[in-house]
Chains A and B, each alone.
Chain A
Amino acid sequence: MPRISRVCLAGAVTALALTATSCTGSSTSGATDDAGKPSTITFWHPWSAPTEVKAIEANVAAFEKAHPNIKVKVVGNVDADKVNQALRAGGSNAPDVVASPETSNVGKFCSSGVFADLDPFLKKSKIDTAKTFPKPMLDYTQFEGTRCALPLLGDAYGLYYNKTAFEKAGITSPPKTLSEFKADAIKLTKTKGDSYSQLGWMPNFHGYEVTVPHLAAQWSPTYFDASGKSNVAKDPAFKELLTWQSDMVKALGGYKKLEKYRSTFGDEWSAQNPLHTGQIAMNIDGEWRGGMMEDAGVDFEWGVAPFPVPDDQADTYGKGFLTGTVIGLASTSGKQNAAWELVKYMTTDTDAVVSFANAINNIPSTFEALKSPKLEDDQAMQAFVKIAENPDSNTTPAAINGSAYQDTLQNFAYDYESGKEKGLDAGLEKTAEQIDTDIAQAK
């Protein structure tokens, strides 16, 4: 082969490989302005469904009416990667205000300074965050004392249950403790051949919203100690959770049998969700599921309750996992004062928060809005509102490397439930070490 052909081929190979995998980047800057002067700000948000877009546009129109000097250019359906790229690059087309459903990115947004510190703005507007927002929502919108975001509506997790199946099984009320939950799940399970015609609950961690963070909230865990080191091996909550989950897997048929049954489930976000089809009788899920069940026209009665708590914490029944959408100011924005007016309006104006929550079936993110009489009072939404108001409800803290610590813990849980990992204590120790290593690498 002629030498030049080899060289050309090697060049082509290299170019192909590197075009797909190259890495480049740049840095950022900040700015200030006069909020009383006419200006146009750009607002990026993640919502895309017509009802959601309509709701946000209505909110923005109300804001513009109240602030005639500020015009808002709204850009919807923006995903996390685009947000990161724009925050990194800045420039005239970059957003001034960003709403993002990725709460796990708050650690990076705060520590890197791409989201502006909101404390000076909050002080200027005399907003006491502790009296305005539920604590878990304040937790996931700050990182190591820097508040760079505020909650813009929230999501709460609770127990959905099939009332018709409960009635048939002779169960009169939703379970409040985990031992009651286990007994009900077994009662509701009907086997069919080597599978099931109805499963009480899918305990496997691939069962949609059945994840470590969502379930661990019932133990009120502490993910990191005061020095910022992983606490998963020290806080008994995690060991108790995994022991309980493992016991549920055994009680309901074993990992392999359950996993095969799980593969028959339809997509979580479709009408074929196993709760809709009656394949499972109970599940942990967020407030949006109620609307989806209504839309799917399920042929049974259903109810919502807080997810059960460990027996030794029965007095904390009513709590649950909270998360939500965050909103912040881009530090590259030259119109931060005008942009703050929009953030303040969307996050603290009770009517704005309530109307937006009603329109998109989310949980309001301020105490005032949670108590508002204008809030839709259907049974499911009220149950989630109570979970959001519960002082023992909790969330996962922000970390510098996003959701990596949750992923590491969840990956250990996958290995433990499948039997790939045998030792729980040793596994949790190893998981904690890995979390600390990953965080050290990111710092």
Chain B
Amino acid sequence: MTILHGHSAALRSKRRREGMRTLAFLSPWLIGFSVFFVYPLVSTVYFSLMKYDGFRPPTWNGLTNWTYVFTQYPFFWAAMRNTLWLVVIMVACRVVFGLGIGLLITKIKTGAGLFRTAFYLPYLAPPVAATLAFAFLLNPGTGPVNQVLGDLGLPQPGWFNDPSWSKPALTLLALWGIGDLMVIFMAALLDVPKEQYEAAELDGAGPWKRFRYVTLPNISPIVMFAVVTGVIQTMQYYTQPLIAGKTASGVIGAGAGQIYEPGYPGKSTLTLPQLVYNLGFQRFDTGSACVVALVLFALSMAFTALLMRRRGGLITVED
């Protein structure tokens, strides 16, 4: 009996030591998770309910900031519509284009290295420089793109100066910098077992059927990854629309205090992260800025949950 009791105590002690060791191994992540996730989340929720200008101590404000952002702040719904447009259209275009370029480059027999470099290099361009270059190329008055379109007798869009063309122009800019997705898709495509293509060919499958029934199921976790990370990146889309709007409206090198039209032209390039800056740092309304931050968070979570539910997750589990 004493032996059994001693054995059980030793077992408990061993389990406790193992538990502590596990916790010790997990602690870097736990600390990071608490500092960079739990604390900001709790703070953001807290400040969204407070009146806080960044200088004086915060005071309780109930749901006033929420009401203000949703019903009185004139830029919120325009920014929401733009963000959703970009999430749906721009992300989809990037995934399809990235996959297409990946497929093309993996099929090329000669000069693949050159094409890989050519498609990857734009991704390395700093966002501000890339946007300024596009604003120059797509300038409706002096840009070479419209000059070529004009010479060909085609319509010359206003691009960043036209509300109906500004988001498609941003999408073009995003497609130009497709290098990141191209590399990911190339790696996935080269990983598809060749035997499966051979078996499909023996069964009489043409190129489309081989892509539909062999390639796509094999790379679907990567497609899912591209979509989820694309949605998150687009939720944080700030630099390119801001620079494009400011350049096109003529205030890119603006001096202090110079007025510019947010989301020029016609609020069409306004995104939710721009509102966080406008409210928090230009209007000193940290509480309302936190409301927009939480809306961004909720949208990111909702999109991700929706995609995960439909897809069943990122990793295909083999039985």
Contact = CB atoms under 8 A, between A and B. Distances in A.
Nearest to A269: B253
B68 A441 contact: yes
Interface stretch (B105-113, B118-126, B139-147, B200-208): B139-147
A112 B43 contact: no
Contacts of A415: 266
Given A23-B43, A23-B44, A24-B43, A17 B232 contact: yes
B240 to A, nearest CB: 15
Interface residues of B, number: 73
Nearest to A80: B256
B257 A23 contact: no
A418 B236 CA distance: 30
Contacts of B65: 441
Contacts of B130: none
A17 B300 contact: yes
B312 interface: yes
A108 B304 contact: no
A264 B259 contact: no
A411 B300 CA distance: 30
A130 to B, nearest CB: 25
Interface in B25-68: 33, 36-37, 40-41, 43-44, 47, 52-58, 64-65, 68
Nearest to B298: A17
A265 B252 CA distance: 12
Nearest to B247: A267
Contacts of B190: none
A27 B40 contact: no
Interface stretch (A6-14, A159-167, A368-376): A6-14
A441 B253 contact: no
Nearest to A401: B283
Interface residues of A, number: 76
A267 B249 CA distance: 10
B250 A18 contact: no
Contact of A270 (B52, B140, B253, B282): B253
A81 B44 CA distance: 20
B250 A87 contact: no
A268 B64 CA distance: 40
B266 A5 contact: no
Nearest to B161: A263
Contacts of A23: 40, 43-44, 47, 280, 286, 289-290, 293
A145 interface: no
Contacts of A112: 53, 55-56
B217 interface: no
Contacts of B178: none
Given A13-B300, A101-B256, A411-B261, A1 B312 contact: yes
B53 A264 contact: no
A51 interface: no
Contacts of A265: 250
Nearest to A15: B37
Contacts of A108: 53, 55, 284
Contacts of B53: 108, 112, 442
Contact of B40 (A22, A267, A270): A22
Contacts of B253: 267-270
Task: Kindly list the 6 A-B residue pairs having the minimum CB-CB distance in the complex, ordered from nearest.
Answer: A1-B313, A22-B40, A21-B293, A101-B256, A264-B141, A112-B55
Given A1-B315, A23-B293, A101-B257, 18 more contacts: A2-B313, A5-B313, A17-B301, A18-B37, A18-B297, A25-B54, A84-B54, A101-B256, A113-B55, A211-B258, A262-B250, A264-B141, A411-B261, A414-B261, A415-B266, A420-B266, A441-B65, A441-B288
18 contacts: A1-B316, A1-B317, A13-B301, A17-B236, A18-B44, A21-B44, A25-B52, A87-B55, A112-B55, A206-B261, A263-B161, A268-B250, A268-B254, A402-B284, A403-B259, A404-B283, A410-B261, A441-B65
Interface of A: 1-2, 5-6, 9-11, 13-25, 27-28, 46, 80-81, 84, 87-88, 100-104, 108, 112-114, 195, 206-209, 211-213, 259-265, 267-270, 323, 400-404, 406-408, 410-411, 414-415, 418, 420, 434, 437-438, 441-442
